[in-house]
Amino acid sequence: METLNACPICQSGSFLPELVAKDYTVSGKEFQIVKCAECGLLFTNPRPTKLEIGPYYESPDYISHSNSKKGLINNIYQWVRNRAIKEKLALVHKFSGKRDTIKLLDIGCGTGEFLASAKASGMQTKGIEPSATAREQAIHNHQLNVEGEEGLDRLTESYDVITLWHVLEHVHDLRVRVQKIAEILNNGGVAIIAVPNPNSADRNTYNKEWAAWDVPRHLYHFTPTTIKRLFNDFSLKHEASIPMKYDAYYVSMLSERYRNNGKNNLPAAFLNGWKSNIRAGSNAELYSSVIYVFRKS
């Protein structure tokens, strides 16, 4: 375990306890989440080191690295993922502003479904995926160009669009990663970043049992204010925020399972997911998860 003595965004050393959340997926252990007294960043502290974090991903229930359709939650996840891929591709086309071939890098590409769809649509694609199992599936199933995390450090070519779909919150070297994104983006290119939102109504409904805390795998818990500040430090300017409306339902389903000792409660989950979206209304930055678009000028 390691304890951070400086905020990953503003370097302040003053933190306030926010809550203690439980790892319901793998270990059953509890982890402290703190809030930076200066910039407001929520982050897991202390946390497993890079060398220690691996076993916390080793679970059949950690389904972002899986294509399994066993069980209700997995089936719903796969259905939503397929719907969301189309919406993500539309965002890439919209914000790239390009009429010719788009050069796309997907960091944390998992088993490659989004990247495969992007390739099929005519984009020039590359993926980065730390998990060897997920990476092998992406290469074998979709014939994609995917490297491990060390491949990102070696990259020197530039991209029109760089995507991280629910990935940034997992990255130990946060500022190093965002700096690398800024370096390899073309001028005028965009970074499209999706993260959970602790300002959402479903967070307030479930509090410490909110599934999107996902400790200790989620090292940071970005609000709109804190993620914008981080990217602004590297001259990546916020251009748009887009709600991820499915996430409130999915997160609520997992949260109900955690609250009820592993038992599903779909009526409550769908009601709370619906309430969360209704309360967010026209404000994209109040939804359960938010996609942020940052442009390099």
Question: Could you report the per-residue pLDDT of 241-284, keeping only the tens digit for each?
Answer: 999 999 999 999 999 999 999 999 999 999 999 999 999 999 99
User: How does residue 82 score in pLDDT terms, banded at 50, 70 and 90?
Assistant: confident
d(CA 100, CA 257): 46
| Residue located via tokens 């997926």 | 25
Residue whose tokens read 């994104």: 181
Is the pLDDT at 67 greater than 60, yes or no? no
The two tokens of residue 3 are 């304890």
User: Residue 75: what pLDDT?
Assistant: 75
Task: Find the farthest-apart pair of alpha carbons in the chain and give their distance in angstroms, rounded.
Answer: 52
Residue 132 has a CB neighbour count (10 Å cut-off) of 9
Instruction: With H, G, I as helix, E, B as strand and everything else as coil, classify residue 76.
Output: helix
Q: How far is it, in rounded angstroms, from Cα 73 to Cα 92? A: 28
Phi, psi of 57 (to 5 degrees): -100, -5
The three-state secondary structure class of 214 is coil
pLDDT at position 99 is 82
The pLDDT score that the predictor gives to residue 214 is 98
Neighbours of 120 (CB within 10 A): 11
80 pLDDT tier (thresholds 50, 70, 90)? confident
% pLDDT > 90, the chain: 89
Give per-residue pLDDT as tens, 166-208: 999 999 999 999 999 999 999 999 999 999 999 999 999 999 9
Cα–Cα distance for residue pair 32/230, rounded to 1 Å: 22
β-bridge pairing 124-128 and 146-147: parallel
Task: Report the alpha-carbon distance of residue 185 to residue 141 in Å, rounded.
Answer: 28
Query: How many separate helices (H) and strands (E) can be counted in the chain?
Result: 10, 11
CA proximity to 107, closest of 86, 138, 82, 76: 138
- Sole residue written with tokens 């306890």: 17
Order across the sheet with 236-243: list the strands: 146-147, 124-128, 103-107, 159-165, 185-196, 289-296, 236-243
Confidence check: pLDDT of 72 > 80 = no
Q: Walk me through the domains of the chain, giving residue ranges and CATH numbers.
A: 68-296 (3.40.50.150)
CA distances from 102 to 17, 79, 125, 226, 292 (A): 44, 27, 8, 29, 19
Q: Name the token pair of 47.
A: 């946390």
- What is the tens place of the pLDDT at every residue in 118-165? 999 999 999 999 999 999 999 999 999 999 999 999 999 999 999 999
